């Protein structure tokens, strides 16, 4: 092999390696996040992907009203509890559940579904929720946030958990 071909081959390999490393280190558009806390002695964790507003109108447009949403990005959001808890007035056994939300202008329906591990929506944008696997649902009222929440976030509090994004938040009561 002549010297020019060797140099060209090595340069190509270095460029490929560099671009692969740079692509692998690029931040995700919707990074994985976990909210953890304790409610009435139960250890709660919520694993989700956190999309950003990026100047878009979220509720009523990107996330349509009255349509099932995966309550995050990428995989369906997962709520895990190590003890039986009450969601409002309904018991939820220890375990892991996907969370789906049907946001409305005045009330939101939050759904705990026994199927986990699935991608949150199909390529066509439809929810992957299987309604027959719903175990608990609760209606909650959204409220305005004090400031813009650029990234979707969950927070576990002594009263339950909060989902906040853009200019809306909901408290889901957990006891």
Report how many domains make up the chain: 1
Tokens, residue 103:
């946001």
For residue 73, give the DSSP letter: S
The string of pLDDT tens digits covering residues 55-66 is 999 999 999 999
pLDDT attached to residue 37: 98
Question: What is the C-alpha separation between 167 and 145, in angstroms, rounded?
Answer: 5
**Is 87 domain-assigned?**
yes
- The answer as to whether 42 is a domain residue is yes
- Domain membership of residue 33 as a residue range: 29-173
- Residue 102 maps to a domain: yes
Is 22 inside a domain boundary? no
Model's pTM, two decimal places?
A: 0.83
94-120: pLDDT as tens digits: 999 999 999 999 999 999 999 998 887
Strand duo 85-87 + 90-92: pairing = antiparallel
- pLDDT exceeds 80 at position 3: no
Position 41 in a domain: yes
| pLDDT single digits (tens) 127-171 | 889 999 999 999 999 999 999 999 999 999 999 999 999 999 999
Is residue 65 included in any domain, yes or no?
A: yes
């Amino acid at each position: 092999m002549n010297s020019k071909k060797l140099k060209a081959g090595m340069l190509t390999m270095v460029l490929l390696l560099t671009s692969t490393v740079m692509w692998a280190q690029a931040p995700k558009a919707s990074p994985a996040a976990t909210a953890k806390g304790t409610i009435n002695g139960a250890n709660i964790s919520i694993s989700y992907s956190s999309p950003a507003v990026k100047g878009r109108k979220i509720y009523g447009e990107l996330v349509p009203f009255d349509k099932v949403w995966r309550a995050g990005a990428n995989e369906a959001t997962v709520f895990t509890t190590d003890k039986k808890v009450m969601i409002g007035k309904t018991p939820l056994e220890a375990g892991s559940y996907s969370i789906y939300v049907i946001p409305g202008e005045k009330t939101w329906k939050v759904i705990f579904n026994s199927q986990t591990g699935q991608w949150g929506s199909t390529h066509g944008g439809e929810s992957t929720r299987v309604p027959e696997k719903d175990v608990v649902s609760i209606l909650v009222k959204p409220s305005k946030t004090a400031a813009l929440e650029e990234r979707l976030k969950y927070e576990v509090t002594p009263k339950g958990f909060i989902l906040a994004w853009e200019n809306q938040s909901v408290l889901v009561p957990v006891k």
